[in-house]
Amino acid sequence: MPEANAPSSEVLLERILTSLDEDKAEDIVQIDLAGKSAIADYMVVCSGRSARQVTALAEKLADRLKQEFGRLSRTEGKGSGDWVLVDTGDVIVHVFRPEVREFYQLEKMWMDPTAGPDTPA
């Protein structure tokens, strides 16, 4: 049950996108999961240029959400810095090093099969 003063999924998504952009994340993609999955409302996938930046992007994002919304986020993968998952509940964020992102191609798994390669999901 959501808290009475909890931000909506859309407000949370906008803050996440702004945070990632401010911290120079690259190739930020948002995927609407409505009707596709019960795990979250949105997924965000982005890249950092190095393992250090990947970890820093995830840590700063989790800290901002805690400070601004009182939202605790679970993170996984910070040890290696290849791929860090930040689970905020309504929005799941994946931060990759570019080579790891290319290998897993996570966005393609969630794209609309009727959408062309240049069509947003």
Q: Mean pLDDT for the chain?
A: 88
> How many Cα atoms occupy the beta-carbon half-sphere of 119 within 13 Å?
8
CATH fold of the domain at 9-107 = Beta Polymerase; domain 2 (3.30.460)
pLDDT at position 102: 94
Share of the chain above pLDDT 90, in %: 70
* Count of beta carbons in the 10 Å neighbourhood of residue 56: 18
∠ CA 4-7-9, rounded to 5°: 120
pLDDT at position 112: 64
Give the pTM: 0.87
The answer to whether 30 and 43 are in contact (CB under 8 A) is yes
Average pLDDT over residues 66-76: 94
